[in-house]
Amino acid sequence: MAIRIVREDGDEILRKKSREVEVVDDKIRQILDDMVDTLHNYNGVGLAGPQIGLLKRLVVIDLYDDKGPIKLVNPKIIKQKGEQEVEEGCLSFPNQFAKIIRPLEVTIEALDENGKKIKLKGEKLLAQAISHEIDHLDGILFVDKIIPGTLQYVEPDDEKNK
Ligand code: NI
């Protein structure tokens, strides 16, 4: 278990395209576990490979529901439907939030942590998170999609000082 450093806005790795993972081995499983630990440490809902400095098509998502952390290798959207206007942020852009348009429903194919092919359908928040994280794998950031005039800078809360 290890918490990795999250790369932030201005780090050019966030703009690069990630490569497919060819073999899902122990090393990949270790990275996925570290990504989940990192995600939880930052209280985030999703994290992608480039955000911890790895140009690998790896994504973890946790909506803190009964689905638990979802670990995805080489996720690919095969179908999407509808749209939703959502409030969104990103661990690589601390304290920034904006409104953007995301698909309402997405279906993806991916490999799970055992290298098994899976299909997953997500709606609403899960569709938003999947779409946000897959964008990261292609160097696309939520700030590229902001509805003009909706970007807000929120002061960090004082939790760390309590
Ligand atoms: Ni993000």
Please identify every residue whose CB atom is under 5 Å from ligand 1, which is an ion: 90
Name the strands in the sheet holding 93-102, side by side, starting at the edge strand that comes first in the sequence: 84-90, 93-102, 152-153
Tell me the DSSP string of 30-92.
Answer: HHHHHHHHHHHHTT-SEEEGGGGT--B-EEEE--SSTT--EEEEEEEEEEEE--EEEEEEETT
Measure 143 CA to ligand 1 centroid, in angstroms: 10
Measure 161 CA to ligand 1 centroid, in angstroms: 25
Q: Could you tell me the end-to-end alpha-carbon distance of the chain, in angstroms, rounded to an integer?
A: 26
The pTM for the full model equals 0.94
**Residue ranges of domains in the chain:** 12-161
pLDDT in tens, 132-145: 999 999 999 999 99
pLDDT in tens, 106-119: 999 999 999 999 99
Identify whether 133 is a catalytic site residue.
yes
- Is residue 162 pLDDT above 60, yes or no? no
pLDDT in tens, 84-106: 999 999 999 999 999 999 999 99
Q: How confident is the model at residue 155 (pLDDT cuts 50, 70, 90)?
A: confident
pLDDT in tens, 3-20: 999 999 999 999 999 999
Catalytic residue among 85, 109, 123, 133: 133
Measure 47 CA to ligand 1 centroid, in angstroms: 6
CATH number of the 12-161 domain: 3.90.45.10
